[in-house]
A = this chain, B = another copy of it.
Amino acid sequence: MSTALLKYMEEHSRAVDECLKTLFETRKPEQPESIRKAMAYSLFAGGKRLRPVLTIAAAQCCGSNPRKVLKTAAALEMIHTYSLIHDDLPAMDDDDLRRGKPTNHKVFGEALAILAGDGLLTQAFETAADNALDIGLDAKATAKLIKTLARGAGTSGMVGGQVADLEAENWRSRNHGFKPGTTLEYIHLHKTAALIIASLEAGAILAEAPVIQQRKLAAYGRAIGLAFQIADDVLDVVADKKKLGKKGSDAQNHKLTYVTLYGIDEARAKAHALIETAHRHLAGFNKKAQPLHDLADYIVARDK
């Protein structure tokens, strides 16, 4: 990661963390202590805050102040965290470790883990609506903000991708017109890219950016989102257990990944081509788009 990006990520992820902590502190008297702890455990488990930083960078790129979009940035981290908690459940990917720590259900039990995910997803919408209210966003943009988050997170987006991913497990054993390449792109576009696109669009909506800018940022998001997941597939194979904090479970489960389908070299090449596409979508923006350029480069650099 470049020094400039490192500084940018540190500064803004700290602001997001403070925002999340304040939100959790404020709600303390209203929530059972156990679920507050379960939600906080995964929310503050050392995530890189990529999605919130994308929201902030998108808003800045469209001329807005990062403080104006902080709550929605926090909301996106809540949605991302909920998805990790539910994905790790025994009925899903059945992972014991996440970022080197026991997964939520391993610490709090399955029931509380399911409810912690539900709680985070729900609170995300409340927090985004609060953000719109705070900054006096107009009615259409407020509704669009909520719809953008919901479409990115729901069955047309991330949840749809997770469903397709589960159904593609053991794909090698299938024999009935199954098209792994198409399915794989569907999975990656939905499971990962959809929420990344929503993070960028949300920043642009809160910045009251013109629709053409929202679309360019969405296209940038689609490219880095796909690249991010391809890079993740590569990471999952090459990284050792210690570095990633979990076993290379995709290969063990015979999951459909870019690496199992195309091999490591071609997967890497695809990711790099997508990053070039991402840079091109930022061409119309001024120098405030630099963090987004840096973030695109960082996404594929992770696998080195």
Instruction: Known contacts A30-B156, A91-B114; decide if A125 and B150 are in contact (CB<8 Å).
Output: yes
* Complex contacts, A117 vs chain B, CB 8 Å: 118
Contact between B110 and A155 (Cβ–Cβ < 8 Å)? Answer: no
Is there a chain B Cβ closer than 8 Å to A58's Cβ?
Answer: no
- One of B36, B39, B110, B160 near A35 (C-beta < 8 A): B160
Complex interface bits, A234-247 against B, C-beta within 8 A gives 1, otherwise 0? 00000000000000
**How far apart are the CA atoms of A160 and B116 in the complex, in Å?**
10
- One of B35, B143, B163 near A115 (C-beta < 8 A): B163
Is there a chain B Cβ closer than 8 Å to A179's Cβ?
Answer: no
Contact between B155 and A35 (Cβ–Cβ < 8 Å)? Answer: yes
Is there a chain B Cβ closer than 8 Å to A11's Cβ?
Answer: no
* Complex contacts, A129 vs chain B, CB 8 Å: 142-144, 146-147, 150
In whole Å, how far is A190's beta carbon from the nearest beta carbon of chain B? 9
Complex interface bits, A134-145 against B, C-beta within 8 A gives 1, otherwise 0? 001111101110
Most chain-B Cβ atoms within 10 A of its Cβ — which of A91, A122, A146, A160? A122
- One of B34, B121, B155 near A32 (C-beta < 8 A): B155
* Complex contacts, A188 vs chain B, CB 8 Å: none
Contact between B119 and A155 (Cβ–Cβ < 8 Å)? Answer: yes
Contact between B118 and A91 (Cβ–Cβ < 8 Å)? Answer: no
- In the A-B complex, the 6 residue pairs with the closest CB atoms: A126-B150, A91-B110, A122-B154, A129-B146, A119-B155, A30-B156
Residues of A within 8 A of B (CB): 27, 30-32, 34-36, 39, 82, 86, 89, 91-92, 109-112, 114-115, 117-119, 121-123, 125-126, 128-130, 132-133, 136-140, 142-144, 146-147, 149-151, 153-156, 159-160, 162-164, 166-167
Q: List 8 A-B contacts (CB under 8 A).
A: A35-B159, A35-B160, A35-B163, A115-B166, A117-B118, A119-B154, A122-B150, A132-B143
19 more contacts with CB within 8 A, not counting A112-B163, A126-B147, are: A30-B156, A32-B160, A32-B164, A34-B163, A34-B167, A86-B115, A92-B111, A115-B155, A118-B118, A118-B121, A122-B154, A122-B155, A122-B159, A123-B150, A129-B143, A129-B150, A133-B143, A138-B139, A142-B143
